[in-house]
Structure 1
Amino acid sequence: MKLKSLLAAGLMAAAAGGAWANDYTSPVLAMTGGPIDWTISFGTSHTDGLAFTDTYTFSYSGLPGTAQGFFANVASTAGDLNFNWADINGAPLPVMNIGAFSGSLYFATPVVGLLTLTIKGTDHGVGSYAGTLDVTSPVPEPATYGMLLGGLALMGALARRRKS
């Protein structure tokens, strides 16, 4: 009797906790490009009809910048995906599920350092999605370089004056 109770409790806890989800966690993926614009493609498939949490980790130069990109799924006769949540480093991204289309399109999301993209959803049959992520770091304006050179010239003039 005690064994039946333990088995039933274990099955209920596993079902409630989502232990059967088909989660995907990528290794750290290096973005290509640089030094101002970095990019990478990503995606995966799900086939078991359960909730999923996919986690992608990307590395780039680490300078502060903005992220933009998308990920999408189009339903087929084999199945579909619905997205419930997405974020980059904790900053929420918009997700939409409209008819046979599910996805996210995002712009100007501030990022710095190692990036973690998390996507949560549910698959209905066999479904897959793909997307791209771009990170753009700002380029100093020409006036910034002019101020830098002007400051260096001023420092040189002061150093020369002290020598005399």
Structure 2
Amino acid sequence: MKSIKFAAVALALAAIGSSNAAVITFQTGSSGAGAQASALDYRSVVDAAVVGGHTTILSSYDNVSNNSVFGTGNSDIAFKSTIDFGLSAAGTYSFRAGVDFGRGGAVFLDGQAVAVNGNDMWWNFNYNTSNGAFLINNQALSAGNHTLTIYGLEGCCDGGQQVQYAAANGNFQSFSANTLAPVPEPETYAMLLGGLALVGGYARRRNNKA
């Protein structure tokens, strides 16, 4: 009976825990590919390069690089960053990414290309640097879950990167595990209710035996 109780509690906690943070997946792989002709080309090349590479979940997207996260090389790198976030209400949002993509890159929002740059991109920790950052302004987003994906190719030398967002008329802030939590899907609520029902049933049986 204790195992049933623990399983029920685990279900409830899993349902709650799945909705308390934006999820930032950072992937890198090896690639000597040069600048690409389109956003779709960047996506195709990078997706292939990161297979079998390094993957982790970041707690924040500030001063991130392949070497600082994975402790590996600083040249011929393919980058893929996937940020899953949620909005409780519809609104207008802007995004910016300071990158070090010597061979350019692209940005997708909910699967649609919103930016591409085939030039040598190095923001040098300054968003006013020419060709140094992706600036995606005034995106009208519905309530619910969204995905921002950034693809890039670096020759040398793997400088620190940052990704930020801002609500309309608001200040930019970096994505982190404490911002824009994904909105729970209906099945998540069902899991939570199911877990709580099992806990309640167990408690009633204990009371009846007492």
Compute the TM-score of the two structures, normalised by the length of structure 2: 0.40
Which structure would you say has the larger Rg? 1
Compute the TM-score of the two structures, normalised by the length of structure 1: 0.49
Identify the structure with the greater strand proportion. Answer: 1
Identify the structure with the greater helix proportion. Answer: 2
